[in-house]
Each structure stands twice: as structure tokens, then as C-alpha cells.
Amino acid sequence: MSVLTIETTPIQGQKPGTSGLRKTTRTFMGTHYLENFVASIFGAIGGAEGKTFVLGGDGRYFNDRAVQVILRMAAAEGAARVIVGQGGILSTPAASNLIRTRGTDGGIILSASHNPGGIDADFGIKFNGPNGGPAPESLTAKMHDLTMRIIGYRIWEGADVDVSSLGETSCGEMTVEVVDPVDDYAELMEELFDFSALKALFAGGFTMRFDAMHAVTGPYATEILERRLGAPAGTVMNGNPSPDFGGGHPDPNPTWAKELMDVMMGSDATDFGAASDGDGDRNMIVGKGAYVTPSDSLAVLAANATLAPGYANGLAGVARSMPTSRAVDRVAEALGIEAYETPTGWKFFGNLLDAGKVTLCGEESAGTGSDHVREKDGLWAVLLWLNILAARKISVAEIMADHWTSYGRNYYSRHDYEAVETDKANALLERLEAKLSDLPGTIVQGMTVEAADQFAYDDPVDGSRSEGQGVRVMFEGGARIVFRLSGTGTQGATLRVYLEDRVEGPEGLDRPADEALQTIVAAADEIAQIHEMTGRDKPDVTT
């Protein structure tokens, strides 16, 4: 075996964000870019010698080349075995599952999630630890530090490894095991959910559309929904994955999953609609004429989880990211379980899940999941919804109405201002932070500010502290606005404004969200002077 040592120099900006390192595809294709980061991953985890890893990605442009580079680097570093999804493909939750069930030393996942794919779009890479979850901040900081000091990396010189056929092959002295990307994951779903009830549901004429958005969940959804559960062919739409996601933006929200939304809001709506993103960890839920916000979805899943066999013994606790609406807190209160509030980023749920403090977690960014893996899981959320619908035998709209009657409603929306000049976005937040201490007691759009702060999180398991996680402005009566910059964008800065208002009921529970939130939207602009500071009249995306 011939191992080459290649000289390199540090490349600026290889700092992992909310979820790994995400940059434009062309950046990743640049000389030494991928290699420097992969070498830094191996360095940060104390080397690859004798270790076993999982490797796969969402199939976006450059996935295939990156897989070959990583295999050769792992071989050069003395890794014992790499388990690769056939064709280099693994959805993020399926990768997390394999890392756990095969007892590996972690895995490398190639994805920029919901960001578009293609040579002129985005690529990404992240490392998940032996628990199957995204590397914590302490580890990503080490990776970044190593990228700043790297002088060389090792790579095995040889032909491409054939990852198109199932079975074992090798790369130098390292074993490469090519596995079916769907099998293990589909089996896990069968353990968690009542597949007989779901089969009976579809056999009884229940209709649904699952929009795979030309992304990685196509084969997973087709196998589970159409083959194992007997949903009619055509239930899965846009089910053929493509390297540029059919030229689309694989983000399951009403803006980007418009094709599905049009179906669900039209006269031919099916009973249930759902979508998933580039790497299969996000989900969107929509009923006939009824869009369910991710925050409400988390609350409904928490309130009804025991209807699924995998959760029949109840929930240990729940967790949500700070900007996620507090709807699930009400459910936790009623169930008498703890509700944790973490910073944005699935990695923050890992410790809580590992310590058995929570069973379900979720985020406003269309992510929900449980302790079955250590990632959010799009299809899992869809199957839990289906299990609930099969058990309760009422529509999505009826479930929502019932939920709001029992727990009150947290009207919620997120406004995104994308590709804002970084300086302007930073200035907006700095200005806001500077006036935080003056805000309490002031009246904005007729509402009194109760408290305002910059969110910091003390991890109850390992005691680590994460600061600067978003500006919160809380109003008397339960309304709240959160401002933060996205950690996943690749162009300029994305300003996210999270808007929430609380209605106890019984009146006022069924208003259109944009109407119910008008005053909060105006308050956000008044407090942050979004228009003045960014020059933007309206958000680019509203979820």
C-alpha cells in the first residue's frame, strides 16, 4: 500500500457552524479544501488508527468524489473499516442509526441539508460521534483549531473503491463494507410504529402525498410507505434523488414545497401531506387545508406519542431549541415531565438524550426526533403522525383544533432575510444587544416588554456553557420575538426573526397566523429596525 503525505497550508474559514462545515460546492472542490478538513476531523478525534466509521451523504453534487477522498484518507490513517451506504448514499438519520447499531467510532456525513445542491450551490460535511449525534462544540472547536495549523495530510494512492455493489471490498488494508442505505433504517421504523395499523389505514383508503423533493428520502419513503405499508404507487412524489435536487431547494416548508402545498390546499387534497429535506432529517406536516407549524407538530407528537408502540411507556422529558415556540412546554407541564430549552443545533440535544432526560426533541426549523437515533428524523416524524392519525381516526385539522382547545395556541412564524450583507446584519444585532437592558418596561406596539436578554445555555449534563445564542424579547401576556443569525447559510448572513404570540382560548384559536401575528411583526421591526438596518422591505422566506 502506498501512502502519500501531501503538504498543505491552513485555509481560512473552516469553522463548523450550526451543523458541520457548509460552504459552496466550488469551495469544497478547491485544492486541499476537503482534505484539510477531513484530516482535522481525524486529528480532533485522536486519529483513525484501528477505528470503524460510517460514511455516506445525501447524494448531492460532489458526494461521489468526496466519498472516494475520505475513504483513501481513512485508509492512509489506518482505519480498520468504513461502512458506506451503497453509492455513497445515507440519509442523516440512517447514518446516525448505523453508527449506533454497529457500535462504530463515529461517522462522516456529507450534506448541506436543505441548501440547494449542484456545482454552483452548496456542499457540507460533518462528523457524528459514537452516540450517532453531531459533534459537540468542544470537538468542532478542536477541528477548527487544527485547520488553522495543518501542514500536511496523508492519503492512500490507488484506484477508486467500488461502492456501487453491496458487500465487502477494500481500500489498501482497510475494509470497506457497502450496505443497503434503507434496510436497517426501515427495520428500526417497524420496531417503533404499529405497521399493521398503518397498513390497515392505507388499505381503508387513506390517502397521502410524500414529497421527497428529489432528495435522499425518495428510496426510504418508497420502501416504507409504498412497499411495506401498501400506500398506492405515486404516494411518494419527486422520489428520484438527483445531485441538484431537480434544480429545486430541498427545504420542506410552504415556500419551497409549494407543489405539495398547492395540492394540500386545493380541492384534490389528500388526507395527509408531508415532505422531507436534502438529507432526510427535516419534515413538513400538512393536512387537508391545514399546515402544521414545526413547533405545533412537536407539541402534538409529545401529547400523543404513547399511541405508538415505541413510546407506549411515556416520555422521560422533552426538549426544544430556544427559538422554537413554547407550545410543547404546555404539553410537558400537563404530562408532569421536564421541558428543556437548548440553543439552536441538534448537537445540543445529544447529552440530554444520552442521559435519558428526554425522549422527544424538536426545532422550529422543521426538525423533530427522538431517542431512537441522535439526529432529527423526517420520515420518523411522518410515521409518528401516521400512527397518531391511525389511532385517533380524525383529520389533521381536527387534531390541531383539539390540541389548541386543550393547551391553548402559540401562534408562530419565522421570517428569514437571506443573503444580507454580513456587516449590516452584525450591526443590527450589535445595536439590539446594546439596548437590551433598556427594553424591559417599555411599550412597543401596545405591548409591554417583560424581559430581554441574549440567550446562554448551561448544559445540565456536562456543565458546558454556550453563550450568544440569540436575542430574546419577551412581552407580558406570552408574546416573544427572537432574533439571531443563521449558522447554516453560505452567502452573506441570514437574519432569522422568530415571532410568537400566545392565546389561551377558548376564543381566537383559529385565526390565520399572519393575521394573528401582525402586531408582533410590527414590534419586531420597531425594535430591530430591520427595514432601516438591512434595506429589506419584507422577508425572503416565511415559515
Active site residues: 113
Beta strands at 174-179 and 81-89: parallel, antiparallel or unpaired: parallel
Query: How many residues appear in the chain?
Result: 543
- Cα distances from 338 to residues 270, 313, 361, in angstroms, run 36, 16, 12
The Cα 37–Cα 174 span in angstroms is 21
- Residue 122 β-bridge partners: 24
Query: Least distance in Å: CB of 125 to ligand G16?
Result: 12
- Residue 471 β-bridge partners: 454, 483
Query: Least distance in Å: CB of 442 to ligand G16?
Result: 27
Query: Least distance in Å: CB of 159 to ligand G16?
Result: 33
In the bound state with ligand G16, the residue whose beta carbon lies nearer, of 410 and 486, is 486
Query: Least distance in Å: CB of 279 to ligand G16?
Result: 7
Place of cell 457548509: 22
| Residue 174 contacts residue 81 (beta carbons within 8 Å) | yes
Q: Cis bond leading into 252, ω under 30°?
A: no
The Cα 310–Cα 509 span in angstroms is 31
In the bound state with ligand G16, the residue whose beta carbon lies nearer, of 113 and 222, is 113
| Residue 64 contacts residue 32 (beta carbons within 8 Å) | no
Q: Cα–Cα–Cα angle for 472, 251, 120, nearest 5°?
A: 110
Nearest CA to 494 out of 543, 435, 433, 439 is that of 543
Beta strands at 409-420 and 493-503: parallel, antiparallel or unpaired: antiparallel
Secondary structure letter of residue 222 according to DSSP: I
| Residue 270 contacts residue 263 (beta carbons within 8 Å) | yes
Other CB atoms closer than 10 Å to residue 259's CB: what's the count? 15
Contacts with ligand G16, residue ranges (CB under 6 A): 18-19, 113-114, 281-282, 321, 344-346, 363, 365, 367, 486-488, 496
Lookup: cell for 457: 445555555
Beta strands at 290-292 and 283-287: parallel, antiparallel or unpaired: antiparallel
In the bound state with ligand G16, the residue whose beta carbon lies nearer, of 273 and 280, is 280
The Cα 199–Cα 511 span in angstroms is 35
In the bound state with ligand G16, the residue whose beta carbon lies nearer, of 44 and 482, is 482
In the bound state with ligand G16, the residue whose beta carbon lies nearer, of 172 and 294, is 294
Query: Least distance in Å: CB of 95 to ligand G16?
Result: 12
| Residue 298 contacts residue 365 (beta carbons within 8 Å) | no
Query: Least distance in Å: CB of 283 to ligand G16?
Result: 10
In the bound state with ligand G16, the residue whose beta carbon lies nearer, of 64 and 363, is 363
In the bound state with ligand G16, the residue whose beta carbon lies nearer, of 37 and 195, is 37
Query: Least distance in Å: CB of 187 to ligand G16?
Result: 24
Query: Least distance in Å: CB of 281 to ligand G16?
Result: 5
In the bound state with ligand G16, the residue whose beta carbon lies nearer, of 304 and 494, is 494
Helix, strand, or coil here: 112? coil
Query: Least distance in Å: CB of 293 to ligand G16?
Result: 14
Show Cβ contacts of residue 184 under 8 Å, excluding neighbours closer than 6 positions: 94, 97, 98, 101
The Cα 452–Cα 438 span in angstroms is 9
Q: Cα–Cα–Cα angle for 49, 52, 56, nearest 5°?
A: 120
| Residue 74 contacts residue 174 (beta carbons within 8 Å) | yes
In the bound state with ligand G16, the residue whose beta carbon lies nearer, of 121 and 308, is 121
